[in-house]
Amino acid sequence: MTNPEESSWTGDVESKLLPIYQHRHKLIEAVKENQFLVVTGETGSGKTTQLPQYLYKAGLCRDGKIGLTQPRRVAAITVAQRVSQEMGVSLGHQVGYQVRFDDCTTKDTLVKYMTDGCMLREILTDRSLRQYSVVILDEVHERSLNTDILLGLLKKTPSRGCHGRTLPLKVVVMSATLETDKLSVFLGDCPVFAIPGRTYPVKELFCNLIGPKEKEGSAYVKAVVKMALDVHTNEAAGDILVFLTDQQKQIFQPAPAGVRKCVVATNIAATSLTINGVRYIVDSGFVKQLNHNSRVGLDILDVVPISKSEAQQRAGRAGRTSPGKCFRIYNKEFWEKCMPEYTVPEIQRTSLTSVILTLKCLGVHDVIRFPYLDHPEERFILDALKKLYQFDAIDRKGNVTTLGRLMVEFPLPPGLTRALLKSAALGCEEVMLPVAAMLSVENIFIRPGCHFSNRTVITVITTILITVHTFLYFVHKGLPEKQKEAEIMHRELAARAGGSNDFLMLLCIFEKCRASENPSAWSKDHWIHWRALKSAFSVETQLKEILFRLKQRKDFPQETFKGSKSELLRQCLCQGYFTNVARRSFGKAFCTMDGHGSTVHIHPSSSLFGQEAQLDWIIFHDVLVTSRVYVRTVCPIRYDWVEGLLPKLHEIDVYDLSNVAREEVTDEEMARWEKKRVAQKQMETNEDASKKLEKR
């Protein structure tokens, strides 16, 4: 039987030149014949854009959709756009995408690009993914947390009933040319389909601008800019791709004739996206990475040296269309001493709280012996269980509670979800919803020319480059002299919200803008990013929908409260942020109450900065580590609001958790542990007392 689409659609000319095209028949066969398949090939060979189209054409959509996961939002969206263009259909119909808070699919969608996080949420509603015939996990070598969890879950793919038949779900795992054997072994020795590459040699040069001493700090930014300038003045025609750590989106347009394009990119360009025409790479050797900081007990975005394998990926980007050169700003010593062999998978370096809750809700009780491709340290799993216990999402036996089942429905961090659910129980979600939405979108405040020291350097260099008749393509509109104007406006906005609560300030901005006649003009006048605020509006609507659905449940909690709006908001926030409580210790310093006892300071961007002397107890949303540990998005609270919650932070023993994490626990065992714990506490108290006596 042929697919009706097959005859009418032939694919575009350009895609027939891609390396994958020659192998399409064998590839389709391999997918048809195997339940699991690993597909590997150089970046740009056509895996992401072509394979779903081939399978679609070959009729594999007859029994369900083809879903392709990406670790990054931008990649999921841009690839879906590209593929819909290639197929000549409008985006959102046959080809669509879904990322957190943005669903561009319809009931007709058969090829669906999505983030790995979205796929994980779909598994929550349908463990056997009945809607899909093929699931493709893409960019697996990136080892994102969600992709790793999906690998473990899909390893045991359930069969799905369809038209009275039982069909296995097909799982294709795609990766750049790294660790493919390991993947194949993990998936029960499944076959590996390697697409032969078509690459040109890349000369790799160490440029000695950075050594091990510059491991931390921002010296690399200047060095990168110098290098880009050198390449521009000394090298033959060809575009430059600069790997920095900034988060700006790439610009894809070809450069006008006679002009050299210079793209400044983050890690994303290493494998997820292909930019044609690049001959030179300038590699900073650094990347921004989310790491769990055990000192402060939170995930923190750090700038760290990249791994050697990542450096090789970056270099490879220069040899796509012709021979190229890769200029590494660091020296050989930096390579040897500072750069690890492989990038540590996200699962081994970030907080696991949300995924552990997801696994528990999926009925995976033993989260320690779950099939991880690389096992996270046990203490990370226990930390996550401890957090979930503190939030009342699981009980002492490790079972999910009613609250936990409600929490898992929200694509938000557990603390924020708990605060939102508390507000809904009190019937005042209209104050928390906008705050949760505002905290879920990118930074809303326009702060021209101030936050990135890199940006300032780049602006200066842009000017130089333009004078030598070159365009440097990146987004930078801010001018340092506008900084004051923005600051004054933001201070005024803070004052309008009472001047001492960053969360309330977010709520006020949300409400004021939405009520204004022309919201985009309002944003511009108040130095607020309209795009971010607009997505906050949409996020709020979606969170409201989830909440509305959950409120229909009989077990949805209900409580009553009377008080001012600010007080109500702060009390709800305490329910989710009691793990982020700090008390002023001396001067402008605060001490956290979560057992780490870290010293923190209020970040200058907070409306409470400078008011420290009047504060006692505060809660904060997140942490920024520079020379100091700063807390951001802060509000003052009263001790009695968290008094009942703080003991929970010290209540549970990691020993108990390591047991409940492994197996179902009986009541008798539970009682035995409790006895043991009390006895141990008693012993410690006795020891303390005897030490005191000795001192005397």
Interface ranges with ligand CDP (CB under 6 A): 18, 41, 43-50, 78-79, 82, 274, 276
Q: Considering the complex, what minimum distance in angstroms separates the CB of residue 83 from ligand CDP?
A: 8
Q: How far apart are CA 322 and CA 141, in angstroms?
A: 25
Q: Closer CB to Mg ion, residue 117 or residue 376? A: 117
Cβ count near 463 (within 10 Å)? 10
Residue 111 binds which of ligand CDP, Mg ion, none (CB < 5-8 A, kind-dependent): none
Mention every residue, 6+ apart, whose C-beta is less than 8 A from residue 642.
Answer: 574, 578, 581, 617, 619
One-letter amino acid at 380 equals F
Q: Torsions phi, psi of 682, nearest 5?
A: -60, -45
For residue 576, the partner it binds in ligand CDP, Mg ion, none, with Cβ less than 5 to 8 A by kind, is none
In whole angstroms, the minimum distance from the beta carbon of 366 to Mg ion comes to 34
Residue type, 407: M
| Of 35, 19, 369, nearest in space to 170 by CA | 35
Minimum Å gap between C-beta 316 and ligand CDP is 11
- Is the Cβ of residue 278 or residue 408 nearer to ligand CDP in the bound state? 278
d(CA 44, CA 20): 9
Residue with tokens 């390579």: 335
> Can you tell me which residue has the tokens 């700006």?
248
Q: Are 470 and 260 in contact (CB under 8 A)?
A: yes
Q: Tell me whether residue 46 or residue 478 sits nearer to ligand CDP (CB atom).
A: 46
In the complex, what is the shortest distance from the CB of residue 41 to ligand CDP, in angstroms, rounded to a whole number? 5
678 token code pair? 């009390």
Residue 238 binds which of ligand CDP, Mg ion, none (CB < 5-8 A, kind-dependent): none
- Smaller CB separation from ligand CDP, 54 or 474: 54
Name which of 45 and 69 has its Cβ closer to ligand CDP: 45
242 binds, among Mg ion, ligand CDP, none (CB under 5 to 8 A by kind): none
User: Distance between CA 196 and CA 36 in Å, rounded?
Assistant: 20
> Which partner in ligand CDP, Mg ion, none is near 41 (CB below 5 to 8 A by kind)?
ligand CDP
Using CB distances below 5 to 8 A depending on partner kind, what does residue 18 bind out of Mg ion, ligand CDP, none?
A: ligand CDP
Helix (H, G, I), strand (E, B) or coil at 115: strand
Q: How many CB atoms lie within 10 A of CB 597?
A: 10
**Closer residue to Mg ion in complex, CB, 47/292:** 47
Beta carbon of residue 44, minimum distance to ligand CDP (angstroms, whole number): 5
Q: Which of 473, 453, 452 is nearest to 462 (CA)?
A: 473
Which phi and psi (to 5°) does residue 149 adopt? -70, -40
Residue 98 binding target from Mg ion, ligand CDP, none, CB below 5 to 8 Å by type? none
Residues that bind Mg ion (CB under 5 A): 47-48
CB of 436 to Mg ion, least distance (A): 33
Q: Identify what 358 binds: Mg ion, ligand CDP, none; CB under 5 to 8 Å per kind.
A: none
Instruction: Give the C-alpha separation, 138 to 66, whole Å.
Output: 12
Residue nearest to Mg ion (CB): 48
Alpha helices of 36-159 — where are they, by DSSP H? 47-57, 73-87, 116-125, 145-154
Within a 13 Å sphere around the CA of 613, how many CA atoms are in the beta-carbon half?
1
Q: Which option in ligand CDP, Mg ion, none does residue 82 bind, with CB closer than 5 to 8 A by kind?
A: ligand CDP
Q: Which is nearer to ligand CDP, 14 or 668 (CB)?
A: 14
- Least Å distance, CB 20 to ligand CDP, is 7
Neighbours of 632 (CB within 10 A): 17
Nearest distance from residue 258's CB to ligand CDP, in Å?
23
Between 45 and 180, CB nearer to ligand CDP? 45
Which CB atom, from 113 or from 630, has the smaller least distance to ligand CDP?
A: 113
Distance CA 76, CA 84 (A): 12
Partner whose footprint covers residue 44, from Mg ion, ligand CDP, none (CB < 5 to 8 Å by kind): ligand CDP
In the complex, least distance from residue 569 CB atom to ligand CDP, rounded to whole angstroms: 42
Q: Please state, in angstroms and rounded to a whole number, the distance separating the CA atoms of residues 569 and 619.
A: 12
Which two tokens mark 147? 């992709």
Task: In angstroms, give the least distance from the CB of 74 to ligand CDP.
Answer: 9
Q: Is the CB of 48 or the CB of 592 nearer to ligand CDP?
A: 48
Maximum pairwise Cα distance, the chain: 93
